[in-house]
A and B are shown apart, each in its own frame.
Chain A
Amino acid sequence: MTPGGTARDGEIEAFVVDRYLESLLSRGPRDEAEVPADLRATAARLTHGLPRYHPSFRFEEDLAARLAAAASARAGRLIEFPVGTVRGLVSGDERAGTVRPVVIRGVLTSAALSLAGAAYVAWRRGRPPANAMTRAVRAVVRARTV
């Protein structure tokens, strides 16, 4: 609510701000003059400043395997699941134009792709598979790419 204003004023301003924020989502800001400058500045700071946390590759792949196992149990057959790829680093960031901090399980990166992440993928790819399911999947992938 605007200080000193009525509840109705607050609702109107909330509506105007909402319309402005919706236009930000569509990457076409409009009606800027109607929105107080401090709210515009705060909205911009939040849009670009709040970090996105991303799970580690290990967690993402392990959970994918558990879900595949659960799904296969439901379907009553063995299901192959795709080997994780680097695309996972920026999943959920489909909208172009916004650059914001990305944190992979506590490690802040200055870009969407971190050196630590790339090194981890290289290490995972070069490491012998830890379980039979992973070995089977990699065998399928190798057979397809030959």
Chain B
Amino acid sequence: MDAARADPARFDPLYRKYVAQVYNYAVYELGDHHEAEDATERTFLSALAGLPRFQERATPDDGEGASTFRIWLFRIARNVVAERRRRWRRRPEAPLDVATDAPAPGDLEGAVVARESAASALRAVERLPGDRRRAVMLRFVHEMSTSEIAEILGRSEGAVRVLIHRGLRGLARELGEESPGTSRKGRA
């Protein structure tokens, strides 16, 4: 991180480490691969330009190699995506498609079931409102901690806990997950 800040030529390892994560975030937010690529490009170009202003807030107590760079980068991505969503407001959003041309060697039936399960989970997540959806996605796809999500969304940790909890509750209802004392909803 320090090397990249001192010399832009050292930015490439950071880019390689985080490009998939930023692209993934943009795909979930924008639902379109072309738009996600554009948002990813803008995010990294902004990050490169703003690198001298980045302030490392991790301390030695956070562990070896700890860095707040990912939080900083995702905040840039969030702003870029928000700007693109504003431009997109009048356009219909196409749902993400997870079930296209998937090779399914071996257990065909299992692969189909897994794919359908993933697709229904994805559709349910997409229907969550704004920050609830973002918090769930950052938690379960990017495996971020509550504090990281709070920093990125500009919310308190308590608010993020509630967002995720409510999101999870809503998804459990929608996906018909079994709970003691309740019957499973009929979603074939």
Assess whether A79 is interfacial by the CB under 8 Å rule. Answer: yes
A101 CA / B111 CA spacing, docked (Å): 10
Q: Residue of A at shortest CB range from B13?
A: A82
Q: Is the CB of A49 within 8 A of B117?
A: yes
Cα–Cα, bound, A72→B169 (Å): 49
> Cβ of A92: which chain B residues have Cβ within 8 Å of it?
17-18, 20-21, 24, 142
Q: Is the interface of B mostly helix, strand, loop or mixed?
A: helix
Q: How large is the interface on B (under 10, 10 to 19, 20 to 34, 35 or more residues)?
A: 35 or more
Beta-carbon contacts of B12-26 to A below 8 Å, as 1s and 0s? 100111111101100
Q: Which A residues are closer than 8 A to B by beta carbons? A: 1, 10-11, 13-15, 17-18, 21-22, 25, 36-39, 41-43, 45-47, 49-55, 59-60, 63-64, 66-68, 70-72, 74-75, 77, 79, 81-82, 88, 91-93, 95, 98, 101, 103, 105-110, 114-116
The answer to whether A110 touches B168, judged by C-beta atoms less than 8 angstroms apart, is no
Is B118 in contact with A110, judged by CB distance below 8 angstroms?
A: no
Chain A nearest Cβ from B135, distance in angstroms:
11
Besides the known contacts A47-B140, A50-B118, A53-B33, 10 further A-B residue pairs in the complex with CB atoms under 8 A apart: A1-B169, A11-B161, A18-B165, A25-B143, A46-B171, A54-B23, A67-B48, A70-B45, A74-B8, A110-B111
Cβ of B28 within 8 Å of any chain A Cβ, yes or no, is yes
Q: Which residue of A lies closest to B21 (CB)?
A: A92
Question: A109 contacts B102, CB within 8 Å?
Answer: yes
Q: Say which residue of A13, A52, A67, A79 sits within 8 Å of B20 (CB atoms).
A: A52
Residues A18 and B164 in contact, CB atoms below 8 Å apart: yes
Interchain CA distance A75-B96 in the complex, whole Å: 39
The answer to whether residues A50 and B102 also contact, given A36-B179, A42-B172, A82-B12 and a CB cut-off of 8 A, is no
Q: A41-B177, A45-B121, A51-B118 are in contact. Are A108 and B101 (CB under 8 A)?
A: yes
Minimum Cβ distance to chain A for residue B169 (Å): 7
Q: Select from chain A the residue with minimum beta-carbon distance to B173.
A: A38
Contact of B44 among A14, A63, A98 (CB under 8 A): A63
The answer, among A60, A71, A110, for a CB contact under 8 Å with B48, is: A71
| Contact A17 to B165, CB < 8 A, known contacts A41-B172, A70-B48 | yes
Interface majority SS on A: helix, strand, loop or mixed? Answer: helix
21 A-B residue pairs with CB within 8 Å:
A10-B165, A11-B162, A37-B177, A37-B178, A38-B177, A39-B168, A45-B121, A45-B177, A50-B118, A50-B141, A52-B20, A53-B28, A53-B96, A59-B37, A68-B9, A88-B20, A93-B20, A107-B101, A108-B101, A110-B111, A116-B103
Name the residue of chain A whose CB is nearest to the CB of B146: A18
Q: Does B7 contact A (CB under 8 A)?
A: yes
Q: Which of B39-85 contact A (CB under 8 A)?
A: 40-41, 44-45, 48-49
Which residues does chain A contribute within 8 Å of B101, judged by CB atoms? 107-108
**Interface assignment of B145: CB less than 8 Å from any CB of chain A:** yes
Known: A39-B172, A45-B117. A51 touches B98 (CB 8 A): yes
The answer on a CB contact under 8 Å between A55 and B177 is no
B165 with A79: CB separation less than 8 A: no
